[in-house]
Structures are given as structure tokens and as C-alpha cells.
Amino acid sequence: MNLFQDAEIKISKLPLGPYDTNCYVVSCSRTKEAVVIDAPAQAGRILDEARRFKVKYILITHAHPDHLGALAQIRTVLRVPVGVHTSDAHGLPQPADFNLEDGAKVRFGRQTLKVIHAPGHT
């Protein structure tokens, strides 16, 4: 697991599955609220990291199978809304709870992520 942390934010990068596809757990250092970005595989490893925080959302960057392998399981356990760009909503195994549009902001704790649409890898 790679890690970046300062007084404001912590980013854990988990390379998972046969392609070492990245999952990120991004958290607010002050409030311990977090988001999980992508769910490629190995739900147990994602959940081990996520359980250290109050996860607000699961965000999916795009609907390629190597980014979704653990989605159903972590969604069931974490019971938080799932967001994906409308271009990829059709590719999820279950419908998303909300859409991520270019320029939208996702807030958790004292942090804000800005959605940047990048066609092909949304």
C-alpha cells in the first residue's frame, strides 16, 4: 500500500487483482471521513483499509471490469452511495446512486474532490 498523508488529507493506494488495478481510499485527516475510489478486487483488503474511516461514498472512475470486481461486496458491507459518470452508468452490475458530471464536487470531511471527465476513462 502506498500512502500520502499530511495534516489535511490521507491517500492510500491499494494495487489489487491480477492487473494491480488501483483502489484509493482518500480520507480527511481531521474528520476521518473518506471515499473509496474504484473496487477492482480483493474486497477484504479494501474493507480493511476503509473500516478505519467513516466512508461517505464509493466513486467509480469507469466501468471496466478490472475496476468493479469487488464493488458488489464492498457496497453491501459499507452501505454508502455509489457514484459514477453517466457515460459509464450502464456498465455497473447494479445501478449507481448518483451521477458524477464534469465539474461536480464531492465533499467528505473538510475535503472536496472535483470531477474531471476524461472520455474512455471517465
Residue 66, phi then psi, degrees to nearest 5: -75, 0
Q: Give 99-115 pLDDT, tens digit per residue.
A: 999 999 999 999 999 99
Which among 63, 56, 40, 39 has a CA at the least distance from the CA of 106?
56
DSSP letters for 64-121: -GGGTTTHHHHHHHH---EEEETTTGGGSSS--SEEE-TT-EEEETTEEEE----TT-
The pLDDT value recorded for residue 119 is 83
The pLDDT value recorded for residue 122 is 54
pLDDT at 121 over 70: no
Q: Give 9-55 pLDDT, tens digit per residue.
A: 999 999 999 999 999 999 999 999 999 999 999 999 999 999 999 99
**Number of residues written out for the chain:** 122
pTM value is: 0.94
pLDDT at 89 over 80: yes
Contact at 8 Å (CB) between 98 and 83? yes
Sequence-distant (≥ 6) Cβ neighbours of residue 61 within 8 angstroms: 37, 38, 67, 121, 122
